[in-house]
Every structure is written in structure tokens, then in C-alpha cells.
Amino acid sequence: MEPLATSINSAARPGTSMHNLMHSPHRRGFLKMAGLAGLSWLTPVSHLLAQKAERTREPAQSLILLWMAGGPSQLETFDPHPGTVNAGGTCAISTAAKGIQLAEGLEHLAEEMNSVSLVRSLVSKEGDHERGTYYTKTGYRPDPTVEHPSIGAIVCHELPMGETAIPRHVSILPSQWPSRGGFLGAEYDAFKIGDPAEKVPDLTSFALPVREKQRVSDLDVVERTFARGRQKRVEGTQHRATIERARTMMTSAQLAAFEISREPQSLQAAYGNTPFGRACLAARRLIEVGVRCVEVTLDGWDTHANNHALVRERKTILDPAFAALIRDLRERDLLKKTIVICAGEFGRTPRINPAGGRDHWPNGYSLAIAGGGIRGGFVLGETDPEGLKDPVDHVSTADVHATVLTALGLDSLKENVSPQKRPIKLSQGEPIQSLLA
């Protein structure tokens, strides 16, 4: 885990680009003017429809990303093809949503499918773990000239800060490539913690209160002395602001959101007595106090060998936690305000290899999405069980990003300016209208 002083920056207040203020009108305002002038053809129809949908409902406020690191097999999770040779014996189960099936082993999630939609036709050109992770989390393919922010960083940058005294972007059980702030700045990196069964470290001073107060006073003297003649450099480091945010967090009552032991034993058991289950419960508690984005990682999906047994074991962890999270959010009237996504960097080959595994497959894979005004009990797309034909109604991760941003009340066409003075859209995709309820 990174030091608190460098992690706490996710509470920073979003900046406003002078480029946006001086050189381009706000996209949403421009569209209104265009419509009045009969110029609505200047923007894609999908964005006009998305904005109409946005005006008819309350936008979501938070995002939870259940990150399946390694690339889960779609055939053993959200897109089973029972009875085919490539299924390898995997059976399908019925769900609460009529006509929608899941792979066996997801019985708890099956009961919640009226709140969940499946996208079975994701396509990507990234079949490498690192590149695929980057693309899925940012909506952009890797580019050596710019580091794009993850969707969690964008959400924290674009939505109001509120009164949250703890980091607004959190990664629990982080993978090798956790979500980053990219060109928006390190202050939007996810604040990383481990198993919520353990206390968040570095939050309690080892010094007595009197000694702690003296240390802060001494530090102030050093900082003021250093700042003489170096004010721009000092402002650039954001050191003082970082220290203040860290100290505020250390004394905040909102830290209790990390303490899942405060929840009833019955609820803890429903999520599952696993690090991932505890992390999902912590995610719900964090969302309640105003955290904008929580990423929870379940690794172990890189099943080049012994695919069926490994995925079966992963599902015993994922199924109760995912289902309990959806149910818990709904019962607390939080699901309509919170978007939940379950996804990995790509899928797995339809054909089983000689080692009994499935290899990397970005040519037609799945994710699950729920909450935040997203339609439930729906399936988008269809894949060929042989993998020989392109998926029906295929979409990209960038399209999913645009859909999520729209559900959050944001304009996915808005541009932020990178340090290289390049205007970069929040998303280069198109909102998926069939998912926007």
C-alpha cells in the first residue's frame, strides 16, 4: 500500500481548464443552442437520445467496479452455450429474468437478474493483460504520448466533491494495474487498501497529542522557510494541501465506513467470508458516505489451464458477494444512485486448449452492469459458440464508458485538456441506448 500522504490526494477538488472556458462552449449548452437553431444534426443521434434520457431521470452518483483480473471466461459466467462442444460440459441455469440464463455456479446472482443486464458482445483489439486492463479501465487504447484517466478518476474529477473527508476514489485488493488519474493528475489515483478485515494502516499517529502538535508546528516553520522565493514550485507539489487532507482524514468519522465489523453477522455472511466479499461490503459502506468510485478486485481468472475447475472456484467467491451487493444496495435505496459493473480485461477462447484451459479472447466477451438507471433484466448482443462469426450487436468498452457517464449525468463528449494541450473527450464511444432505462 502506498503512503497515506501520496494516496490521500483523491480528495482533491477538480480543476477547470482555461481552454474549456475560453475556447469552447460547454457541449451541453451548445446542443441546446443548436436545437433552437435547427442544427441538431451537428451531434450524433445517440447523444441526443442519451441527453433526452438524462433529463427524464435523476442521474447516478457513484460507481462500483468489480474487477475480474485475468480475464474471465464468458462461457462459464455470463454467456453460456450449453450443449455445444466448446461448452466443455458447462450447464446453464434459469434466472429471475425470463429468458436469461447464466452459467451454473451463479445461482445467487440469478435471483437478482431483474436488476442486472448483460452485455455479451464486447469486442476489443487488446489481447494483452496490461493493455487490455488499460483499455477497459480508461476506454482508450494505450498511447505512448498520453496517459488516460480511468473512469473512476473521471467520475471524481467531473462530479461535485461534496463533503467527503476520505478519498473519493478507492481500490480494494488492488491488482497489478490499479486505476490511475492519468493526465488529470496523481491526486485522482485510487487510494489502495487491502482486506477490510484489517484496519487501514497509517491513520493513527504514534506520537502523543502534545508531541504531534509540536511536530505540525515545526513542519509549518520549515514549509514557510522553503516557500520563500519558490511559491510556484510549492504550489505545484500540493504538499501542504496533501498534508491537510491527510490530517482531516485521520480524524474523520467517515473512516468508520471501512469497518465492516459494524455490520450484522448475517449480512457479513451473505457477502461471503472472503476478502472479496468483505471488500464488496466495504464498497457499499463507502458509497453511503459519498465515495464516488470503488474498485474491488477478484483475481485468478487467467485460466490457460484447468479452466473449468479454476472458474468454478472463483464463482463460489463472486456469486454471493455480487448478489448480496445488488440486493443490499437496493434495500437501502442506493441501487438507483449507484452503477455496478462486473468485468475483466477480455474473455476466453470458445475452444478449449489441450491443457483444458481457455486462452485470451477479445473478440466477443461479456460484462454485467446494474443500477444507476441502467436497464435491468436485459441482454445485449449474441456470440457464436464457435467464435467463427462476429458478435451480433457488438459494442466496445468505450461505448460502455459513454453509457456510464451518461447515466451519471455527464456529457461524454466533454473535452479535458492534457498537459500536452490536447483536447481529449471523456469518452470516444457512443452511449448504448438500449441500456439506458
Query: What is the C-alpha separation between 75 and 391, in angstroms, rounded?
Result: 14
The radius of gyration of the chain's CA atoms, rounded to the nearest angstrom, is 23
pLDDT attached to residue 435 = 98
Query: What is the C-alpha separation between 363 and 165, in angstroms, rounded?
Result: 42
For residues 424 and 146, the answer to whether their CB atoms sit within 8 Å is: yes
288: Cβ contacts below 8 Å, ≥ 6 apart: 257, 332, 334
pLDDT attached to residue 7 = 38
Query: What is the C-alpha separation between 39 and 20, in angstroms, rounded?
Result: 22
Residue 429 CB-density burial (10 A; 0-12 exposed, 13-18 middle, 19+ buried): buried
Q: State the sign of the Cα–Cα–Cα–Cα dihedral 17, 18, 19, 21.
A: positive
Find where cell 465489523 sits.
261
pLDDT tens-digit map of 230-266: 776 666 655 566 666 665 666 677 789 999 999 999 9
Query: What is the C-alpha separation between 19 and 147, in angstroms, rounded?
Result: 19
pLDDT attached to residue 165 = 82
For residues 164 and 143, the answer to whether their CB atoms sit within 8 Å is: no
Query: What is the C-alpha separation between 102 and 83, in angstroms, rounded?
Result: 14
pLDDT attached to residue 85 = 96
pLDDT attached to residue 254 = 78
- Shortest CA distance to 118 belongs to which of 390, 434, 406? 434
DSSP string, 47-93: HHHHHHHHHTSPPP-EEEEEEETT---GGGTTS--TTSGGGTT--EE
pLDDT attached to residue 236 = 60
For residues 59 and 53, the answer to whether their CB atoms sit within 8 Å is: no
Domains and CATH numbers, the chain: 4-200+255-435 (3.40.720)
273: Cβ contacts below 8 Å, ≥ 6 apart: none
pLDDT attached to residue 19 = 37
* C-alpha distances in Å from residue 261, one per residue of 186, 256, 267, 367, 435: 31, 10, 10, 30, 36
pLDDT attached to residue 161 = 84
pLDDT tens-digit map of 109-151: 999 999 999 999 999 999 999 999 999 999 999 999 999 999 9
Q: What are phi and psi of 135, to 5 degrees?
A: -65, -45
Q: All 3 cell numbers of residue 228?
A: 520563500
Q: State the sign of the Cα–Cα–Cα–Cα dihedral 72, 76, 78, 82.
A: positive
CA 281 to chain centre: 16
For residues 366 and 119, the answer to whether their CB atoms sit within 8 Å is: yes
Q: State the sign of the Cα–Cα–Cα–Cα dihedral 178, 183, 185, 188.
A: negative
- Shortest CA distance to 342 belongs to which of 305, 314, 361? 314
Q: All 3 cell numbers of residue 159?
A: 462530479
pLDDT attached to residue 390 = 97
Can you tell me whether residue 47 is helix, strand or coil?
Answer: helix
Cα maximum dimension of the chain: 74
pLDDT attached to residue 243 = 62
Q: State the sign of the Cα–Cα–Cα–Cα dihedral 160, 163, 166, 170.
A: negative
User: Mean pLDDT per 10-residue run, the chain (437 residues)?
Assistant: 38 38 38 37 53 69 98 98 97 98 98 98 98 98 97 96 88 96 95 93 67 69 71 62 61 85 97 98 97 98 98 98 98 97 98 98 98 97 96 98 98 96 97 94
pTM for this structure? Answer: 0.82
Query: What is the C-alpha separation between 250 and 408, in angstroms, rounded?
Result: 30
**C-beta pairs of 130-134 under 8 Å, 24+ apart in sequence:** 130/176, 130/177, 132/71, 132/345, 132/346, 132/360, 132/362, 133/69, 133/175, 133/177, 133/345, 134/177
The β-bridge relationship of strands 92-94 and 169-172 is unpaired
Q: All 3 cell numbers of residue 202?
A: 497509517
> What size, in residues, is the chain?
437
pLDDT attached to residue 47 = 58
